[in-house]
Chain A
Amino acid sequence: MSKLKISLKIDADIRLISFTGIIDEDFEYQSLLENPGKVYKIDFNEIKMINSTGIREWIRFVEKLGPAVEFQYFNCPHIIIQQMNMVSGFLTKNAKVISFYAPYFCEENDEEEHILLQATDIKNFKAPVRTIEVDGHEVELDFDAIEDQYFKFLKR
C-alpha cells in the first residue's frame, strides 16, 4: 500500500495538489511534471511526515518544474514548518507559505490548540492573539513556541 496519496486538480494554469500520508524516498512525482502549470497550490494538510530523503525528493520535484513556476503552500502542519525552519533549501526561492498551523496553549483547560494562521497574520514575527471560548467566556491563548524559531521560515 502506498504511503502517499496524491490528488491533482487542473484549473487553467493553476495546479491544485493535495497530499495525504508520508513523503519519503517513495515519492513519485513524474505524473505531476506532465502538463505543467504556472502556479502550484500545494495542500499539506494531511501530511504526517516528511523524512530527509523525502525533503530531497521534494526539492528535486520543485527544481524539475523550474524557477519560473510559483509554489504556494497551504495548511502546512507543525512538522513541515519545523523542517522548513531546520533544513536549508527546503523552502525554495520560488515557494512561499500561505497558511500554516501554529501551536497555542489554553492555560484555562490545560490543552493545546493547533490554530491555522495565514502568513499575512504575522506582523514583526510576533504571533497573533487568538482566543477560544471556554465555559461561555472568551479565553486568550498563549502562543506555545518561541516566535523567533517558529516564524524563521518567514524571514527569507
Chain B
Amino acid sequence: MEEFNGGFKVVFKSDYSFEEADLIFLDYAYLKSDDHKYKEALNFLPKLSLLTALVDHNGINDILRETKVEHLFGLSGANSFSDIRDFILTFFNQQLWTADTFCKSPQKVSEKLFMSSEGVMESIQELLAGHDFSECFEGVEDYLVQILNESIQNAIFNAPVDDLGSHMFKRMNKKTVIHMIPGKEPVAKVLSDSKKFVISIKDFYGSITRNDIYDYLPLGEIREKEGGAGVGMYLVFKFSHKFVINVVPRKFTEMIIVIDKDKRFKWYSSKEKSFHLFMPS
C-alpha cells in the first residue's frame, strides 16, 4: 500500500510476501485449493480479509467458524468494492466504523438508553417508529425488532462485568429484572435513509471475547444453559447484510448491523453478507 493523492494505492505483487503486506485480500476459494501457500494467510489475522461470492448463509457461517477471520466480504458488485475502499481507508487511518459510516445522510435517527431489562419491547417499538418501511418487503420490520431484541438483551445480560471481569448477569434467567449501573447503560440507535437501515447497539464494558464471537456467532444450535440460548448473535448475523463488531476491551462493544432496503424478500435473501471484527490483538 502506498500513499497516493491523499489516499492509498494498492500494489499487487506477483512475488508476494504475506509478512510484508499491510493488508491481505484473499479469495476464500484459494484457501480451499490444493495450493498450501494460501493457507499461510490464516497466520496473518487481523490483516487478512477473505472475499467470497458465496450467497448461501450457511456457507458464510462455515467460513467464519473454520477460519476465524476478522474480515469477510461477500462480493456483490460495485457496492462491495466501495466497501473495500472504505475498509482500506478505515484500516490505515486507524478508525472504527460507526453507524454514521454506513448512513451518512440519515432521513431518520432514533436513540434509546436502556436503564433496566424492563420494557425492552416497548422501547424497540419507539425506536422503530417513524422509520420508512414503504420500500421494503413486509417482514423486514419483524427482522429489525428481532435484531434489536437479541442485541439489547445481550448488552443488558451478557456484557456487564465487575471489576474482576466476572460476568454479573450472564447466567441469570432473562425474566429477571435487572438495573444497569448509572453511566453504563447500553444505547441503541437506529438510522435509516432511502437505501438501508443501520442499527447500533453499544455497551460500555467491552467484555466480549474472540471465543464468544466465533463460538456463538456462526453456529445456530440451541444450548441448554442458564441465561441465553446461545443463538442470539447468530440470528442477528443471519438477518443482517453487514455485521460489524467494534471492541475496545474494558471500554465498549458496539455491534453495527446494516440491512439494505429491498422491496422483495428474494432480493434481500440473495444478497451476500459481510462480517467485520475490529478488536485489538
Name A's B-contacting residues (CB within 8 A).
3, 22, 24-26, 48-49, 51-53, 55-56, 59, 78-79, 82-83, 86-90, 103, 105, 110, 112, 114, 143-146, 149
Select which of B173, B174, B264 is within 8 A of A144 by beta carbon: B264
Residues of A within 8 A of B106 (CB): none
* A53 & B139 in contact (Cβ 8 Å cutoff): no
CA distance A19 to B234 in the complex (A): 25
What would be 14 A-B contacts, judged by CB atoms less than 8 Å apart? A22-B121, A25-B173, A25-B174, A52-B228, A53-B174, A55-B229, A78-B265, A86-B220, A86-B238, A112-B264, A143-B266, A144-B265, A146-B270, A149-B57
Q: Bound state CA distance, A145 and B264, in angstroms? A: 8
User: Given A25-B173, A112-B264, A145-B266, A87 and B228 touching (CB < 8 A)?
Assistant: no
Q: Kindly state the separation between the CA atoms of A145 and B263 in the bound complex, as whole angstroms.
A: 12
Q: Are B142 and A49 in contact (CB under 8 A)?
A: yes
Q: A25-B174, A52-B232, A145-B266 are in contact. List 4 more A-B contacts (CB 8 A).
A: A49-B142, A51-B150, A53-B228, A83-B235
State which of A25, A26, A144 has its C-beta within 8 Å of the C-beta of B266. Answer: A144
**A52 with B142: CB separation less than 8 A:** no
B269 within 8 A of A: yes
Asked whether, in the complex, the Cβ of A55 is within 8 Å of the Cβ of B139, the reply is no
Known A103-B137, A112-B265, A144-B265; contact A49-B146, beta-carbon cutoff 8 A: yes
- A54 and B55 CA atoms in complex are apart in Å by 28
The verdict on B175 contacting chain A, using a C-beta distance below 8 Å, is: yes
Question: A89 to chain B: which residues have CB within 8 Å?
Answer: 221-222
Asked if B175 and A25 sit within 8 Å, CB to CB, the answer is yes
Q: How far is the CB of B79 from chain A (nearest CB, A)?
A: 20
CA distance A103 to B157 in the complex (A): 35
Contacts of B142 in A (CB 8 A): 48-49, 78-79
B138 at the A interface (CB under 8 A)? yes
| B238 nearest in chain A by CB position | A86
Q: Identify the 10 closest CB pairs spanning chains A and B, nearest first.
A: A56-B229, A25-B174, A52-B229, A52-B232, A52-B231, A103-B265, A88-B221, A144-B266, A144-B265, A87-B220
Chain B residue with Cβ nearest A152:
B58
Q: A145-B266, A146-B270, A149-B269 are contacts. A51–B222 as well, Cβ < 8 Å?
A: no
Binary interface encoding of chain B residues 60-72 relative to chain A, with 1 for a CB under 8 A from any of its CBs, else 0: 0000000000000
- A59 B121 Cβ-Cβ under 8 A: no
Question: Does B74 sit within 8 A of A, measured CB to CB?
Answer: no
Closest B residue to A58 by beta carbon equals: B222
Q: Which of B224-245 contact A (CB under 8 A)?
A: 224, 228-232, 234-235, 238
Determine whether B145 belongs to the interface, using a CB cutoff of 8 Å to chain A: yes
Q: Which of B150, B264, B265, B269 contacts A52 (CB 8 A)?
A: B150
Any A CB within 8 A of the CB of B149: yes
Q: Which residue of B lies closest to A51 (CB)?
A: B149
Closest Cβ of chain B to A58, distance in Å, is 9
Query: Among B138, B139, B143, B266, which residue has its beta carbon within 8 angstroms of that of A146?
Result: B266
With known contacts A86-B235, A87-B235, A145–B222 Cβ distance under 8 A: no
Contact with A along B159-203 (1 / 0, CB 8 A): 000000000000001110000000000000000000000000000
Residue of A nearest to B145 (CB): A49
How near does chain A come to B278, taking the closest CB pair, in angstroms? 25
Give the contacting residue for B222; candidates A79, A90, A144, A149; CB below 8 A.
Answer: A90
On chain A, the residues within 8 Å of B57 by CB distance are 86, 149
How far does the Cβ of B219 sit from chain A's closest Cβ, in whole Å? 8
Given known A52-B228, A88-B222, contact A78–B139 (CB-CB < 8 A):
yes
Interface centre among A3, A59, A87 (most CB of B within 10 A): A87
Given A51-B150, A86-B220, A90-B222; A114-B232 close (CB under 8 Å): no
Q: Within the assembled complex, what's the spacing in Å between the Cα atoms of A114 and B175?
A: 33
Instruction: Verify B222–A112 contact, CB threshold 8 A.
Output: no
Contact with A along B8-28 (1 / 0, CB 8 A): 000000000000000000000
Report B-chain residues with C-beta under 8 Å of the C-beta of A86. 57, 220, 234-235, 238
